[in-house]
Amino acid sequence: MASNEEILAGLAEIVNEETGLATEAVEMDKSFTEDLDIDSISMMTIVVNAEEKFGVRIPDEEVKNLKTVGDAVSFISNAQA
Amino acid sequence: MARKVVITGLGATTPIGGDVPTMWKNALKGVSGAHTLEDDWVAKYELPVHFAARASTPALDVLSRVEAKRMDPSTQFAVVAAREAWADSGITEIDHDRLAVAFATGIGGVWTLLDAWDTLREKGPRRVLPMTVPMLMPNGPAAAVSLDLGARAGAHTPVSACASGTEAVHVGLDLIRAGKADVVVCGGAEAAIHPMPIAAFASMQALSRRNDDPEHASRPYDRDRDGFVMGEGAGALVLEAEEHALARGARIYAELAGTSVTADAYHITAPDPEGLGATRALKAAMFDGRIQPEDIVHVNAHATSTPVGDKPEYAALKAALGKHVDTVAVSATKSQMGHLLGASGAVEAVLTVMAIYDRKAPVTINLENQDPEIPLDVVTTARDLPAGSIAALSNSFGFGGHNAVIAVRSV
């Protein structure tokens, strides 16, 4: 079980690895597409890497609901619970 | 009268230099880019060949980590070479709808394809990266270069095995002559130093097995040649309609006078022993460029260093050049950098343009006992080419019976 802060930090590392964005730019209220300019292919790569890192499963149909970084953090947190 | 096409930019990343100035300096000196492979897969798969000629500058030293992540290694090399060629051309303003790309590969994204296969088998379909398809597709290099430069007049990918890079130059010339583009970035890229292609080429007895002496393994025209050496990298050229180049006061390296492509229709891998298809290609390129055999002072030969391949090329040169074959300065640059497969024709086109521009023929190394059946005047130390109007040819031949030739003339 990871705290929301730990999940956010882990997610930020994954986003940085995929896109080069600074980890500090990955904040809870940021939209993946609008604010972070992440396209659908990068998003899928981030999702799969997050699944491996946090030991969760994020179904494809769920990905479209993960609009902000916060959405992803809560989904992962709930999936781990 | 067809539009005249000139060459205004050059780029390369090869086993003997990560850019054109370094490659050209080494090509005149005569160095070997072949070395023993340190990868653990050589022993793991008990490969019969333990060496290859890797690019001297890794693409990751030039590209950012994030942009490289979305590219197969072959595409990484293509982008590195194309950026150099583009910067070298000095073009700052362009109608992007009149800029095209013709970028070849022989094999395509083999690393991506086989990595994805390994991932599928070891970790399942979920772990196969979403970028797998655009990274493995053979038009990946052309598409990436088009995207990088904003080339919107088409992005083409000629695929003709080891003739691919030369065929890309041929396609570029046609695009400009046909009025479909004013500027074309053309070239070829390959990154196939991977255990599977090495095993496959070795299985067909195409690779040198001189494992104890990699630097002397690629020896075109030598009596003791025993196969080619795998190389990797990319070459790129900026072709430009002459009037477009003159209007912006461009530095012009040379004229791309003529090109040609023919097919042997003889055997899927063996060259026609009489070199008939290659002869037709040589004659057609000279005809296309309004060049006479006596104008040709230099040939960058295909010359891969295989026992069977080097001889028919001599037969073809003899048939196409007549008595002038005896006085042409022939360079077999694969002796230095190995065989870059689909990139080789593009890199050799760059070398041929540099030879005309600098008026020097590059070196063929490892020629110790010249095959008496191939009595060509092979350049073994850098040689000056004559003053005045001169022309040169570069040949490439590929499995499938593909023959491609370009003719370059001084300006």
What distance in Å separates the CA atoms of residue B364 and residue B378, rounded to the nearest whole number? Answer: 7
Task: Please list every residue in chain A whose beta carbon sits closer than 8 Å to the beta carbon of residue B68.
Answer: none
| Per-residue b or e along A3-35, where b marks 16 or more CB atoms closer than 10 Å to that residue's CB | eeeebbebbbebbbbbbebeeeebeeebebeee
Rounded distance between C-alpha atoms, residue B253 and residue B250, angstroms: 9
Mean pLDDT, residues B332-352: 98
By C-alpha distance, which of B278, B292, B287, B406 is closest to B349? B406
Tell me the two tokens of residue B256: 């791309």
- This model of the complex carries an ipTM of 0.84
| B291 torsion bin: left (phi>0), alpha (psi -120 to 50), beta (else) | beta
> What's the pLDDT at B411?
96
**Average pLDDT, stretch B291-311?**
95
- B274, B312 in Cβ contact below 8 A? yes
Question: Is B267 known to be catalytic?
Answer: no
Per residue in A61-80, pLDDT (tens digit) is 999 999 999 999 999 999 98
Residue among B50, B162, B194, B244 flagged as catalytic: B162
Q: Among A59-63, B14-18, B219-223, B281-285, whose mean pLDDT is lowest? A: A59-63
- B66: contact with A, CB 8 A cutoff: yes
Looking at residue B193, what is its pLDDT? 98
- In this predicted structure, the answer to whether residue B197 has a pLDDT above a threshold of 70 is yes
Alpha helices in B322-375 (DSSP H): 334-337, 344-358
Token duo for residue B16: 């003997």
Instruction: For residues B144-167, give the mean pLDDT.
Output: 98
Q: Do A44 and B126 touch (CB under 8 A)?
A: no
**Residue A66 identity:** L
What's the one-letter identity of residue A2? A
Neighbouring-strand partners of residue B189: B234
Q: What is d(CA B200, CA B302) in angstroms, rounded to the nearest whole number?
A: 21
CB B105 within 8 A of CB B342: yes
pLDDT of residue B294: 96
Q: For residue range A56-66, what is the model confidence (pLDDT) as tens digits?
A: 999 999 999 99
b/e map of B367-376 (b: 16 or more CB within 10 Å)?
beeebeebeb
Is B127 in Cβ contact with A41 (below 8 Å)?
Answer: no
- Given this model, what pLDDT does residue B271 score? 86
Q: Kindly tell me if the per-residue pLDDT of B220 is higher than 90.
A: yes
What is the Cα–Cα distance from B36 to B336, expressed in whole angstroms?
Answer: 15
pLDDT of A1 > 80? The answer is no
Mean pLDDT of chain B: 97
The three-class DSSP label of residue B330 is: strand
Q: Is the pLDDT of residue B199 over 90?
A: yes
> Would you say residue B97 has pLDDT above 80?
yes
Q: What is the pLDDT of residue A81?
A: 82
- Kind plus residue range of the DSSP H or E element containing B404: strand B402-409
Residues near B404 by beta carbon (within 8 Å), at least 6 away in sequence: B160, B163, B166, B167, B170, B259, B260, B261, B281, B345, B395, B396, B397, B398
Query: Does the annotation mark B216 as catalytic?
Result: no
Interface test with B, best of A19, A42, A47, A62 (most B CBs within 10 A): A42
Q: Contact A1/A80 with Cβ under 8 angstroms? A: yes
Decide if pLDDT at B1 tops 70.
no
DSSP B35-54: EE---HHHHHTT-S--EEB-
Question: A20 contacts in B (CB within 8 Å)?
Answer: 64-66
Q: Which of B156, B298, B302, B402 is catalytic?
A: B302
For tokens 């072709």, the residue is: B239
Per-residue model confidence as pLDDT tens digits over B233-284: 999 999 999 999 999 999 999 999 999 999 999 999 888 888 999 999 999 9
Structure tokens at B142: 């052309």
Supply the pTM of this predicted model: 0.96
Whether B324 is catalytic is no
The arithmetic mean of pLDDT across residues A17-44, rounded, is: 94
Chain A residue numbers with beta carbons less than 8 Å from the beta carbon of B127 are 48, 52
In B54-78, which positions are buried (b, 16+ CB within 10 angstroms) versus exposed (e)?
bbbbbbeebbeeeebbbbbbbbbbb
What pLDDT score does B2 carry?
80
Contact state of B65 with A20 under an 8 Å Cβ cutoff: yes
Residue B100 has pLDDT above 90, yes or no: yes
Amino acid (one-letter) located at B158:
P
Query: Which residue in B78, B76, B34 sits closest to B59, CA to CA?
Result: B76
Q: How far apart are CA B131 and CA B147, in angstroms?
A: 16
pLDDT band at A2 (very low <50, low <70, confident <90, very high): confident
Provide, as residue numbers in chain B, all residues whose Cβ is less than 8 Å from the Cβ of A45: 129-131
Q: Which residues pair with B259 in a beta bridge?
A: B406
